[in-house]
């Protein structure tokens, strides 16, 4: 099936192959340690999360796509790839938006609506990262997720921090990992069904999930944007765990002690900065979903 409209941008083989190689190098810089650990059957309590919770393999992350409306000259191998088609120039390739939308419309609409709804709400900055604390609240030490990493304040100290605060989590995919005793302490119960009505830009996990939505959109997302969302998730994950109840000093991470006024201030300042970064990336993803939905 040939593309129905001339592409807005055309890239020569020299140009697009350089972009492809640069993208792979950038991805490899982030995945090298994870790939090395995996070959040795080793784990990392902070960095591995982006490759386990988000089911995106390093090989998928390093695969570059030009995005919507970009014709790649001399790219016959791309023309036969899934969701690509031949461009108007012989031997060229372009993302087949029509076929992609036919097969992935529900996903595109969901992501588009969720990102737009998230942007429409004011950020909330009073949770102080207590979701990680709620995941180990009154939990048997043998069941703690990172059992090889000690709790900074011990079990009783961790429980006391939870009990001295109001849990204000708005993100279902954090809330669903709360211990049974912690669920009832949240300001409001959460469900998958009401996720689009709850997501707000101050949430660290909603910020990390911008990467998830980019991966779900596949080849319509330009490679640079995909890696920008990954880098945001990488940076947020570090703060998420530094503010957690775990003692990660042996891994090179200084704690953000959210049980103190100074720690709370540090957390909120970083949270606001991440909210700005995630909002900018949501705008870029909305431009992608809008282009797909409007047949660009």
pLDDT tens by residue, 78-116 = 999 999 999 999 999 999 999 999 999 999 999 999 999
Residue 129, pLDDT score: 96
Q: What angle do CA 95, 97, 101 make, to 5 degrees?
A: 135
Task: State the alpha helices, DSSP H only, in 120-203.
Answer: 131-134, 154-163, 172-175, 180-183, 195-198
Residue 147: pLDDT band by 50, 70, 90 thresholds? Answer: low
Residue 3 has pLDDT above 60, yes or no: no
Name the pLDDT band for 145 (thresholds 50, 70, 90): low
Q: Which pLDDT belongs to residue 277?
A: 97
Tell me: pLDDT of 45 over 50. Answer: yes
Q: What is the pLDDT of residue 296?
A: 53
Chain centroid, CA 71 distance in Å: 28
Contact 123, 200 (CB under 8 A): yes
**Cα distance between residue 185 and residue 163, in whole Å:** 8
Average pLDDT, the chain: 93
What pLDDT band is residue 2 in, cutting at 50, 70 and 90?
Answer: very low
What is the sign of the dihedral through the CA atoms of 180, 115, 61 and 79? Answer: positive
Torsion of CA 208, 213, 214, 220, to 10 degrees: -170
Cα of 138 vs its chain's centroid, Å: 29
Mean pLDDT of 168-186: 96
Average pLDDT over residues 142-159: 82
The pLDDT score that the predictor gives to residue 7 is 39
pLDDT value of position 140: 74
Q: Rounded CA gap, 185 and 183, in Å?
A: 5
The pLDDT value recorded for residue 274 is: 98
244: left (phi over 0), alpha (psi -120 to 50) or beta: beta
E strands, the chain, are 9-11, 70-72, 84-86, 93-95
Q: Check pLDDT > 70 for residue 51.
A: yes
Indicate the pLDDT class of residue 143, thresholds 50, 70 and 90: low
β-bridge mates for residue 94, sequence order: 85
**Half-sphere exposure (CA, 13 Å, Cβ side) for 127?**
30
pLDDT at residue 22 is higher than 50:
yes
d(CA 119, CA 39): 40
Question: Do residues 32 and 127 touch, judged by C-beta distance below 8 A?
Answer: no
State phi, psi for 4 to the nearest 5 degrees.
-85, -20
The Cα 71–Cα 91 span in angstroms is: 10
Question: Which three-class secondary structure state does DSSP give residue 72?
Answer: strand
pLDDT tens digits for 230-286? Answer: 999 999 999 999 999 999 999 999 999 999 999 999 999 999 999 999 999 999 999
| Interval 187-233: pLDDT, tens | 999 999 999 999 999 999 999 999 999 999 999 999 999 999 999 99
Cβ 23 vs Cβ 65: under 8 Å = no
The confidence score (pLDDT) of residue 148 equals: 73
Averaged pLDDT for residues 17-44: 95
Q: Say whether pLDDT at 141 is over 90.
A: no
The answer to whether 62 touches 73, Cβ cutoff 8 Å, is no
14 Rama sector, left if φ>0, alpha if ψ -120 to 50, beta otherwise: alpha
Task: Give the integer Cα–Cα distance in Å for 193 and 37.
Answer: 37
The candidate with the shortest Cα–Cα distance to 296, out of 1, 3, 2, is 3
- Please report the pLDDT score of residue 55 as a whole number: 83
Read off φ and ψ for residue 83, nearest 5 degrees.
70, 20
């Amino acid at each position: 099936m040939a593309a129905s409209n001339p592409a807005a941008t055309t890239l020569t083989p020299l140009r697009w192959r350089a972009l492809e190689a640069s993208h792979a190098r950038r991805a490899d810089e982030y995945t090298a340690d994870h790939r090395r650990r995996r070959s040795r059957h080793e784990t990392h309590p902070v960095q591995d999360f982006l490759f386990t919770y988000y089911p995106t393999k390093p090989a998928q992350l390093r695969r570059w796509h030009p995005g919507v409306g970009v014709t790649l000259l001399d790219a016959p191998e791309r023309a036969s790839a899934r969701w690509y088609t031949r461009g108007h120039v012989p031997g060229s390739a372009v993302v087949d938006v029509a076929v992609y939308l036919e097969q992935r419309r529900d996903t595109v609409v969901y992501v588009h609506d969720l990102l737009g709804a998230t942007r429409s709400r004011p950020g909330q900055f009073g949770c102080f990262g207590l979701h990680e604390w709620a995941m180990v609240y009154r939990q048997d030490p043998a069941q703690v997720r990172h059992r090889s990493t000690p709790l900074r304040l011990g079990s009783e100290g961790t429980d006391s921090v939870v009990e001295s605060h109001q849990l204000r989590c708005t993100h279902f995919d954090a809330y669903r990992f709360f211990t049974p005793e912690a669920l009832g302490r949240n300001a409001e119960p959460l469900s998958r069904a009401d996720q689009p009505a709850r997501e707000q830009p101050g949430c660290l996990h909603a910020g990390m999930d911008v990467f998830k939505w980019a991966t779900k959109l596949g080849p319509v997302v330009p490679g640079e944007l995909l890696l920008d969302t990954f880098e945001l998730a990488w940076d947020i994950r570090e703060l998420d765990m530094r503010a957690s109840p775990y003692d990660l000093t042996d891994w090179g991470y200084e704690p953000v002690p959210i049980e103190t006024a100074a720690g709370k201030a540090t957390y909120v300042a970083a949270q606001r900065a991440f909210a700005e970064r995630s909002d900018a990336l949501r705008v870029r993803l909305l431009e992608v979903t809008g282009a797909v939905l409007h047949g660009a």
